[in-house]
Chains A and B, each alone.
Chain A
Amino acid sequence: MNDYREAPAGRKSLKRAYVAVMLWFVGRALQVAARADAEVRREFEALPEGFTFAMGVLPAGPWMIVGKRAGRIRYLGWRPEGIALDLTLKIKHLEAAILMFTFRESTAVATARNRMIVDGEVPPACAIVRILDIVEVYLLPKFIARLAVKRYPRWSWTRKLVGRTRIYLGAVLGR
């Protein structure tokens, strides 16, 4: 009697690729924002040398790794293997990552809905969330960023314009 079949674990390649690109871009943007924005710089300065954090999707990525090396913030790629992580923000599954990176769920709402696991000490996690909020405000147009952060900040137009240009260029060019 044919009453059993096995469904192998498939792959959602397109969605994975989308999240991978977003993480790559955010990682590079962090690297630039650490120099281009005073507030981000201050937050990173408070973290110890060698501090490394990753953000990614369970169970098998994609990941984004960022660390402080010789006083500078560096995007360290997408492979967490072999890297000692101080802090990991784990999005529970790919669909949750899609909800976040299509801005249908903000970081705060995703956290409230238990879609993320914070693995590591809480104080640096708070700093990283603040940093990610600032970077989102730089990267996104206001009407989208308003959905991504709890309170859209009141920045001077120079901060926004100069910062946005530098971060976009830097993230694309890798500088």
Chain B
Amino acid sequence: MEIPRHFEFFCPIRIFSGSRALEHLPGELRALNASRPLVLATQGTADRGLTRILVKAFADSGMPLGLHEAAPESPDAAWTARVKHLFVEHRHDALLVMGDGPLVTAAKILNIAVSIGPEDDLAAASGDNRLTRPLLPFVVIPTGVDCEAVASPTAALGPWTFRSPALMAALVALDPRTIRPGDAGRDAAVLSVARAHAARVIAAAPRNPVGEAYARAGLALLDRNGSKAGKGERWALANGVLLAGCAHAQAEPAGPDAAEAAFTGEPATAEAASAYLPDYYEFLNGGRIVAGHDALKRIPTILADLGAKNPLIVTDRGVAGAGLVEVARNALRDALALETIADDVPVDSDIKAVRRIAELYRQRHCDSFIAVGGGSVMDTAKGVNIVVSENARDLMAFSGVGALKRRLRPLIAVPTTSGTGSEVTQAAVIKDHEKHYKTAFMSPFLLPDAAVLDPRMTLTLPPAVTAQTAMDALTHAMEAYTCLAKNPLSDAFARAAVALIGRHLLPVMKNPADGTGRLALAIASNLAGVAFSNSMVGMVHCLGHATGSACGVPHGICMAILLPYGLEYNLHKTGRWTAELLLPLAGRAVCDATPPEARAAKVIALVRQLNQDLHDASQGQHPRTLKEVVDRGLNRMIPRERLPEIVAAARCDGAIFYNPEEMDADDFRMVLEAAWEGVALDLSRIRKG
């Protein structure tokens, strides 16, 4: 898989798709501090009983709905003014659009009108990026397949055109109950436009890997065998149109000629063979992704777009000592002086460090963060961000799921390891080393506003660390692809990540200064991070966390050793998905030469071979088995007699929830013993549920 020199992608849409999607909306609105949504629909939508379905879905939620069921098919400025009046008069705080096409666009403008305040002039907000305040919560419930407008960052009405990423920030509820057939001719046209959009983004490859992932997921859904023309199939098509729209709105597509080629050309469509769609899934890509050989240079623009100009750099001594902060400062010298630096983040994020850095932030009147480092730096920056944004004395008041109700200060993540994917997660873990506990924070608001992937940040990673972190990313992708929460988008992200790692990891091991390869691995890590932060991970992480905490082994090493065992253990349940990973991992020639029934086993064998190759390429530093893991003094880190301790820790790890097959203490022990010795699992001993 090729990569471009530079690309960006930004799609803040949150997707709730499938059965009972509507019922999730009250809770999601509450999490955004909204409790009085105004529903906009046309008379036709109401006549078809769709608003009634919505009202029923909100029953028992304690949230009343205001309904405006008289929106015109093509709303004009006068309508916007009238509904704005309704919105203000009845004290609403969120918009919920039921419909498609032009109504969605008009509602976006209405959202600007009600968000900028009752007196302000809409004309003043028109143009490019003139929206200075965040908009109110905005929900779209498509009533047909025509839902591309949701993804568009532009909206035009009468004399005005607005263009802003804020116009894409929406919750989209694709519910099979509300996706109805429209005019047959118009639906067919919508589908063919969406297909062409997706095909053009794919044909432009490698211009935008993230856009390509969206396009591939969308195209696969649009090309699903539509023999079942029922509710479910229309819903699947609507998913496809939405994803194609996201791809097209963000990625610069190729011209129509190239798209023709993509329709007939082999490589572009071959991968679209599988389109797994669960009955229900959620997806948030979230922050802006900026990647390229000179991506750091974009930071001033990103900050300006976020309305910030005085960032605090958060990093640790290791990163600073490796000269990476200097690299960033030099890259930005002309545009931005990075003066305030907190470089004392400890190896493990720590509550005391959070308090100290928050103090520095306030003293220096900073207005944003640039986190340069790995997981601990990201988590610490997120913790500080909660403290300063909420003006909180006690960080712990915001712990748990969904305690944050509004946006925090801008945070840009610059990862320096290609692995953890922490630049795209919605979580932070902060430890209190005095009281010996760690606290987790979970919220969409913890997702960094932007992830800047610049190969200069990883050029100096030693080979063994490159291997570990890349294997962590590979595990994120492969577990996301084979565990219980998989969905069409995370699948596309995972496949793209596997392809990049499969092609670039060994060359980078042989030539660490390979900037293109480094960039590819950084992109892969990011894609895998998006995949697993949406679809989670399973037993490999469960056992890996346990081994890490019991014996202090670096996370990536555990992942590399345990990954083949996870795929093997779940083989009877998820073999067909493992098999699908052969094409991205090894390429077309190997895939074609392997009969379909042998592909899953081939993937497992290739992952084992990859560990062997990494072992060879790192002069034996990359361990292949648990017994080979040694510390700096070459002492064995995982003595066999400590395996029971790891089993006990594994029973306390939540990743197991997402694993396809059940695991009890005996199963954990069996897998650990095999991984310790380095022998394959005896498939006949796996108890199948």
Contact = CB atoms under 8 A, between A and B. Distances in A.
Interface in B376-426: 400-402
Nearest to B87: A4
Contacts of B27: 58-59, 92-93
Interface stretch (B201-209, B584-592, B622-630, B652-660): B652-660
A59 B61 CA distance: 6
A32 to B, nearest CB: 23
A75 to B, nearest CB: 24
A3 B282 CA distance: 33
A4 B24 contact: no
Interface stretch (A20-28, A66-74, A146-154, A160-168): A146-154
Nearest to A5: B67
Contacts of B68: 3-4
Contacts of B19: 99
Interface in A71-117: 92-96, 99, 108-109, 111-115, 117
A60 interface: yes
Interface in B473-493: 483-485
Nearest to B38: A4
Nearest to B440: A122
A117 B661 CA distance: 21
B90 interface: yes
Interface residues of B, number: 52
A108 B657 contact: yes
B66 A126 contact: no
Contacts of B632: none
B64 interface: yes
B688 A126 contact: no
A92 B536 CA distance: 19
B350 to A, nearest CB: 19
Interface stretch (B52-60, B117-125, B232-240, B269-277): B52-60
B654 A125 contact: yes
B601 interface: no
A7 B60 contact: no
A9 B689 contact: no
A122 B546 CA distance: 13
B331 interface: no
Contacts of A15: 60
A10 interface: yes
Contact of B652 (A5, A12, A126): A126
Contacts of B282: 113-114
A64 to B, nearest CB: 18
A149 B689 contact: yes
A7 B65 contact: yes
Contacts of B596: none
Interface centre among A93, A108, A129 (most CB of B within 10 A): A93
A96 B20 contact: yes
How many chain A residues sit at the interface, stated as a range, is: 35 or more
A12 B20 contact: no
Contacts, number: 127
B662 interface: yes
Contacts of A111: 484, 657-658
Contacts of A118: 401, 654
Contacts of B658: 108, 111-112
A12 B66 contact: no
Contacts of A112: 483-485, 536, 657-658
Contacts of B116: none
B654 A16 contact: no
A77 to B, nearest CB: 21
Given A92-B24, A126-B651, A149-B689, A4 B661 contact: no
Given A3-B69, A3-B70, A151-B687, A11 B60 contact: yes
B653 A122 contact: yes
A45 interface: no
A10 B60 contact: yes
Interface string B280-321: 111000000000000000000000000000000000000000
A133 to B, nearest CB: 8
B30 A7 contact: no
Interface in A1-54: 1, 3-12, 15-16
Given A3-B68, A126-B653, A151 B661 contact: yes
Contact of A119 (B278, B400, B652): B400
Given A16-B60, A59-B27, A122-B654, A4 B662 contact: no
A67 B2 CA distance: 57
B60 A117 contact: no
B278 A113 contact: yes
Contacts of B69: 3, 5
Given A93-B23, A112-B536, A126-B652, A149 B64 contact: no
A10 B656 CA distance: 38
A141 interface: no
A8 B56 CA distance: 10
Contacts of A1: 70
A82 B471 CA distance: 47
A149 B664 CA distance: 13
A50 to B, nearest CB: 17
B62 interface: yes
B156 interface: no
Contacts of A59: 26-27, 30, 61-62
A99 B67 contact: no
B617 interface: no
B63 interface: yes
A5 to B, nearest CB: 5
B536 A117 contact: no
Nearest to B651: A126
Given A7-B65, A59-B26, A12 B59 contact: yes
A6 B65 contact: yes
Contacts of A117: 401-402
B61 A9 contact: yes
Interface centre among A7, A108, A149, A152 (most CB of B within 10 A): A7
B34 interface: no
A42 B19 CA distance: 38
Nearest to B36: A6
A7 B86 contact: no
B67 A4 contact: yes
A99 B504 CA distance: 44
Contacts of B280: 113, 115
Contact of B689 (A58, A113, A126, A150): A150
Contacts of A115: 20, 24, 280
Contacts of B61: 9, 59, 93
Nearest to B402: A117
A58 to B, nearest CB: 6
Contact of B64 (A6, A94, A109, A129): A6
A11 B58 CA distance: 9
Given A6-B65, A122-B654, A151-B689, A109 B484 contact: yes
11 contacts: A3-B82, A4-B68, A4-B90, A7-B65, A9-B63, A10-B55, A58-B27, A92-B27, A114-B485, A122-B654, A152-B689
Given A4-B90, A92-B27, A150-B660, 11 more contacts: A7-B58, A9-B60, A10-B59, A59-B27, A92-B23, A92-B24, A93-B20, A93-B61, A126-B653, A151-B662, A152-B689
Interface of A: 1, 3-12, 15-16, 58-60, 92-96, 99, 108-109, 111-115, 117-119, 122-123, 125-126, 129, 149-152, 154
Interface of B: 18-20, 23-24, 26-27, 30, 55-70, 82, 86, 90, 278-282, 400-402, 483-485, 536, 651-654, 656-658, 660-662, 687-689
Closest 7 CB pairs of A and B: A151-B689, A123-B652, A10-B59, A151-B662, A112-B484, A3-B70, A112-B485
